[in-house]
Amino acid sequence: MTFLSSLISGISLGSVYAIIALGYTMVYGIAKMLNFAHGDVIMVGAYVCYFAFNSFGLPWYIGVLLSMIICTILGVVIEKLAYKPLRAAASLAVLITAIGVSYFLQNAALLLWSSSPKSFPQKFFNIGGKSGFTIFDGKLEISYTILVTIICCVVIMIALTLFTEKTKLGKAMRAVSENKEAAQLMGINVNRTISITFAIGSGLAAIAGVLLCSAYPILQPTTGSMPGIKAFTAAVFGGIGSIPGAFLGGLLLGILESFTKFYLSTQLADAIVFGILIVMLLIKPTGLLGKKIMEKV
């Protein structure tokens, strides 16, 4: 029973990591940059949904839609203002800019919405007034929020995979990812493709924000930063750039963290989890599903 409940708590945490990791990996895979501000876009998404629901009394799905729209716009604006001028610069410069944007968003949130924590409404995914259902004669409780998170995660992963494999735009994205100059020569608008990538990544961040705060209902300006870093780790673990890899990496990281806390030590949970990750990456440096790309000189 302990095994099952630790598994469920791991999957619940892992699916939140996974959904954030999808956004990271998407942007990295195509634009070849680490968008460290992703975690903070998540926070903005959660705030928008919170205010839509609590202050304006809109139904939750309108709130989610609204936060997706605002995050998409935010993502595109960030890309235009902060990253696009650096398209030709060294990747390190872009990385530093991304960290700057992350701090900017956190502090803007502090000014706008103050630091006092807000309790995110937990009633979004209740069915019949209940927050979950029990199995094994009530010994094990599974909340609907977890189910919704996992379903969302799988749906998004499949949709993203299909999108990049089958559509014209997706093909353009893969082309940009493989070689920007060649893609441009083939008539692909590289800048527009990257902007669209950011729009999609940020839209996903909004969904991730709502799901994160539904599962763990404290909302403050730093809400997105730690899960963001964990999700980034998950994306690297799964093989950064690979969409199924992000999903797998997120889930595994969550389950690993949960197992460590249940069976080994709550005090050293992070140390043990990251220790295991380091060993795994030493054995397989490209991550679980990462492709090994030979650089032709």
Partner 1 sequence: MKKILALIIAVVMMVACFTACGGQAETEATAFKIGGTGPLTGPAAIYGNAVKNAAEIAVEEINAKGGIQLELKYEDDAHDAEKAVSAYNSLKDWGMQIFLGSVTSKPCEATVAEAANDNYFLLTPSASSTAVIKDNDVGFQMCFTDPNQGSASAQYISDKGLGKKIAVIYKSDDVYSTGVLETFKAKAAELKLQIVSETAFADGTDTDFTAQLKDAQDKGADLVFLPMYYTPAYLIISQANQMGYAPTWFGVDGMDGVLTIEGADTSLVEGVMLLTPFNADSTDEKTAAFVKKYQEKFGEVPNQFAADAYDCVYAIAQALENAKATYDMDNVKLLEVLKEQFTSMKFDGLTGDGMTWDTDGAVTKSPKGMIIKDAAYVGLD
The distance of closest approach from Cβ of residue 41 to partner 1 in the complex, given in angstroms and rounded to an integer, is 18
- Candidate segments 29-37, 66-74, 87-95, 227-235, binder of partner 1 by CB under 8 A: 227-235
Query: Tokens representing 156?
Result: 């998004």
Residues 98-117 binding partner 1 (CB under 8 A) are 110, 114-117
Task: By CB under 8 A, tell whether 189 contacts partner 1.
Answer: no
Number of residues that bind partner 1 (CB under 8 A): 40
The distance of closest approach from Cβ of residue 216 to partner 1 in the complex, given in angstroms and rounded to an integer, is 4
The distance of closest approach from Cβ of residue 136 to partner 1 in the complex, given in angstroms and rounded to an integer, is 13
CA 120 remoteness from chain centre: 19
Task: By CB under 8 A, tell whether 244 contacts partner 1.
Answer: no
The distance of closest approach from Cβ of residue 38 to partner 1 in the complex, given in angstroms and rounded to an integer, is 17
Task: By CB under 8 A, tell whether 272 contacts partner 1.
Answer: no
Compare residues 223 and 242 and give the one whose CB is closer to partner 1.
Answer: 223
Phi, psi of 134 (to 5 degrees): -115, 150
Q: Which residues contact 291 (CB under 8 A, 6 or more apart)?
A: 239, 241, 242
Residues 119-148 binding partner 1 (CB under 8 A) are 119-122, 131-132, 138, 141, 143
Instruction: Tell me if 24 sits within 8 A of 33, measured CB to CB.
Output: no
The distance of closest approach from Cβ of residue 54 to partner 1 in the complex, given in angstroms and rounded to an integer, is 5
Task: By CB under 8 A, tell whether 54 contacts partner 1.
Answer: yes
Calpha distance 243→245 (Å, rounded): 5
Among 118, 197, 241, 245, binds partner 1 (CB under 8 A): 118
| 10 to 29: interface string for partner 1, x by CB under 8 A | --xx----------------
- Residues interacting with partner 1, by CB under 8 A? 2, 5-6, 9, 12-13, 50, 54, 110, 114-122, 131-132, 138, 141, 143, 216-218, 220, 222, 226-227, 229-230, 257-258, 261-262, 266-267, 269-270
